[in-house]
Chains A and B, each alone.
Chain A
């Protein structure tokens, strides 16, 4: 937003005059009837912002506050909430370090803290691995697909197809493929190997990696399509200039194309971070995070414990922790990484 405004001021004054008008209407009497203009402004704001704001307050802000409230109670979801017992931050303590009561600390550590830590670890592992594996892979595919070759359009469509599929359909499909008697098992047998002993998804070691493979398959399409869009915005002249300077294909990519789609990559990383923290539907369809939680995420654990175990207060505490985590990551990333894109442009405009 700031970039738009600053760039507007720098080059096109006419546009700059209308842009601040929205905020400074009082200082600039554009109408003969300032009061009517003000009413009109309020009317417009209410008309355009009202519905969105109402939806946001009802379906985002109110649930977040409710969850924070529920998380301070011991509530089974059956009795009226007014009958629930207030226990302060005990639910959080139970999730993070087994609770404050020494009598139940050991039991709670095994029953609650460890599964939560496992879910937390899986979520963070997916977050980190997504960036470590999906970023280079997606970039490589995008660079290859950016070249002209016969059948490029079809390959692009195929790459993007998994992303378009609904999570439930894709999940069910992979369940069938990774069935004990499914295609994947047959394939392994055909080349003389044994599939994971406990089953593709249920094996304690392999379960997580199978799920990570499925997630990569599912979401790599988004990375590729974003990077391709970014690459299409890189001016052809730069590539021509690099070619004249005798740069190889790799050098052109490494020194020209990739630096120029930096902002796109950083936005993808942002989407990937948030998506990883909130990962739910795919993992849920693949048997709810695993029968022993071997590939559970924070979101599936929250669903298991809050909804299916009727431990609503504890589930809400998990939800709040998840909210805090994604909020902190998003804020940090916005402030530290994405700010760079904004200031970059301002500098460029000033120089121009």
Chain B
């Protein structure tokens, strides 16, 4: 589902049990910061507090765990300054964490104090069930500082979480293949994109790779068409009310069908997964078998995973890999510069000590965000941390994020697992030519009627 996409190479995709096991078994023991052993009350006069923290930074195939290591460091730095606080970290594989561990923990009433939060519909459901701490007050200054990116972590105007990473998606491409097909400029409109697709086909190059077997990579094409055809107001109102009767939703499907009609994707795209193996969509692009792929910034690191891992190998890839925002469509109510995007954040459990909010505030502070960029290569939320990005492509993505008129959260995340899942099923059926634009809207409407 949606959240298979995860920052970079640490994506241990669940298709192989071996991978899953490796991911789950890595570093299960909670790591307690050693610095909190010193006299607990002397420095601040506060009572000793223990914060439990569940995040998805697990070791990848290579055994490296840059995100997990960075969070260890952040926790150690924080506890050094606040000797009364002890932070117990548990690293849990992403799908396990989101689908099993967090829901079960919340149900049982014994949830971790800080846990991964993907925002959108899931956050809204958790907030409605009363599991989440209201962070509006303690994080007021941070909400101000972080700007619009925090919206998916709010429900009904209340802040229930903070993102530490947020980025827009766009089209990754191989400039050498563009050159071979005689494409001079990055496409900025759908017509130019269609033109580029034709030129690539004429040059016997697969124009666009898509991992439709995983459903969500295919669904993102529809999201972007919906982003262009629905105005921001319609999108906000309809996704909140779960009413998809506005014709713009149907139009998104119609545009997708028209685009599918140009056959821009590789053969057997329904059998192609997104990230695992050389025949995955990422593998096709990384091995220069396909020219383009619509993906988020995390795919930069997924592509790197297909190199031999050496400095030269990665450099060679970077030299022939570029990015442009999703092209604008000829018609539609949505802003041409609007972008789809998403991120990762954290929430505090309702019974967590007040130090939880303070720690989250520290976690999204400018310095920690800058360190996050340097250590992990992620896309920071704090605007003043973007200057820490040195990679030109990631700089380009950051620029697109800030220049976008507005950023729309992934629709499946926004709508939550039920309606969002129905949406992805409908779009996948359109890709497989077993359903039409109306079917996609119908499936969403039906799912909305069940909740």
> Which residues of A come within 8 Å of B, CB atoms?
74, 76-81, 83, 94, 104, 107-108, 110-112, 166, 168-169, 172, 175-176, 178-182, 198-202, 204, 285, 287, 291-292, 307-311, 314
Contact = CB atoms under 8 A, between A and B. Distances in A.
18 contacts: A74-B451, A76-B125, A76-B418, A79-B129, A83-B129, A111-B443, A172-B16, A179-B271, A179-B279, A180-B272, A180-B279, A200-B271, A202-B213, A202-B268, A287-B213, A292-B432, A308-B421, A310-B417
Nearest to A307: B99
A6 B327 CA distance: 81
Which 9 pairs show the lowest CB-CB distances between chains A and B?
Answer: A199-B271, A111-B446, A202-B270, A180-B268, A107-B446, A199-B268, A79-B129, A310-B417, A309-B421
Contact of B450 (A175, A200, A292, A314): A314
Given A104-B446, A111-B443, A310 B418 contact: yes
Interface string B409-451: 0000000111001100100110110110001001101110111
Chain B facing A: main interface SS: helix
A311 B450 contact: yes
A285 B15 contact: yes
Contact of B449 (A76, A104, A179): A104
Contacts of B39: none
Interface string B262-280: 0000111011110001010
B215 interface: yes
A291 B215 contact: yes
B404 interface: no
Among B99, B122, B213: residue with most chain A CB under 10 A: B213
A180 B445 CA distance: 34
B106 interface: yes
B208 interface: no
B10 interface: no
Interface string B31-70: 0000000000000000000000000000000000000000
Contacts of A198: 268, 270-271, 432
Interface residues of B, number: 47
Contacts of A200: 271
Nearest to B109: A80
Given A76-B125, A202-B268, A314-B450, A291 B213 contact: yes
Contacts of B271: 178-180, 198-202
B215 A107 contact: no
Among A83, A172, A291, A307: residue with most chain B CB under 10 A: A291
B126 interface: yes
Given A181-B279, A204-B432, A309-B418, 10 more contacts: A78-B103, A78-B125, A78-B131, A80-B107, A94-B450, A107-B445, A110-B439, A287-B213, A291-B428, A310-B416
B428 A292 contact: yes
Given A94-B450, A112-B446, A78 B129 contact: yes
Nearest to B270: A202
A80 B129 contact: yes
B263 to A, nearest CB: 13
Nearest to A168: B17
B202 interface: no
A78 B106 contact: yes
B351 interface: no
Interface string B60-103: 00000000000000000000000000000000000000010001
B188 to A, nearest CB: 31
